Structures are given as C-alpha cells and as structure tokens.
Amino acid sequence: MRIFTEAYQTEVSAEAERLKSLTDVYRADADVYKTESESEQIRIESQVKVQAQEIDYLKAEADVQIESLKANVSVLLKKIELLMNAQEAAADVQSQLASSYGSSVNYSAGLSDSSSFSLSNSYSKSRSSSTSYNENVSISN
C-alpha cells in the first residue's frame, strides 16, 4: 500500500505543479492585459486632455471673434447714428432755405383825382443762409 500511496502522492504533486505552472501562465497573461489596459487608459486620457485643450482654444478664439463682431456692430451703429444726425441737419437746412427762398410779387394800381393812372409792379426775391459756430471755453482756478 505504501507503493500506491507514494504513486498517488507523486501524481498529486505532479498535478499540483501543473496547476501551479498554469496559474503562473494565467497570472502572467493577466499582468500583460493589466499593463495593456493601463497604457490604453493613459493614451485615452492624454487624447481627452488634448481635445479639451483644443476645445478651450477654439472657445477662446470664438470669444475673441464675438467681441470683435460686437465692436464692429457698435461702430456701425454709431456711424448710422451720425449719418442720421447729418441727414436731419441737412433736412433742417433745406427747410430753412426753402422757407427763406420764397418770392413775392406785388402789383398795385391806383387812380388819382387828377385823372391820372398809375400802375406799379414790384418783384422781390430773397435768399438767406446762416452758419453759426459756438465755442465754450471755461477756465477754472
């Protein structure tokens, strides 16, 4: 029986060694997969960081463009306001010129006791323009 026990013990030892080797192979495979997954995680995280930086850059660039466009719109609005003020002033001047450019024609006829006849014809035309310039200077002590 001792022979059977020793044979059985040898078989068990051999199987244990085989299982230990197999476990070592699986452990090595697991370590390889772990290393690969860690490197893949690092690669993906770095890509995410690069893309986040690119997004931040593009956002900042868009913000600059928006501010530039706002400034351009503001300048255009001021120009429109100045143009409208100039047109209003020109209309005022034209109105003043039109009202002062009136012409009048007077006709009169008269008869006197001495049997004379008089006919008078008068024609007048006027034009005016005015330019004013005001300057305020204040001196404070």
What is the tens place of the pLDDT at every residue in 52-81?
A: 999 999 999 999 999 999 999 999 999 999
Q: Is residue 131 part of a domain?
A: no
Q: Is residue 47 part of a domain?
A: yes
User: What's the confidence (pLDDT) of residue 103?
Assistant: 47
User: What's the confidence (pLDDT) of residue 58?
Assistant: 95
Q: Is residue 68 part of a domain?
A: yes
Q: Is residue 15 part of a domain?
A: yes
**How far apart are alpha carbons 64 and 71 in whole angstroms?**
11
Spacing of C-alpha 25 from chain mean position: 62
Q: Is residue 36 part of a domain?
A: yes
Within 8 A by CB and 6+ apart from 130, the residues are 96
Q: Which amino acid is at 109?
A: A
Residue ranges making up the domain that contains 70: 2-97
User: What's the confidence (pLDDT) of residue 116?
Assistant: 44
**How far apart are alpha carbons 25 and 28 in whole angstroms?**
5
Which regions in the chain score pLDDT beneath 50?
Answer: 103-107, 109-119, 123, 141
Q: Is residue 126 part of a domain?
A: no
Domain count across the chain: 1
User: What's the confidence (pLDDT) of residue 132?
Assistant: 53
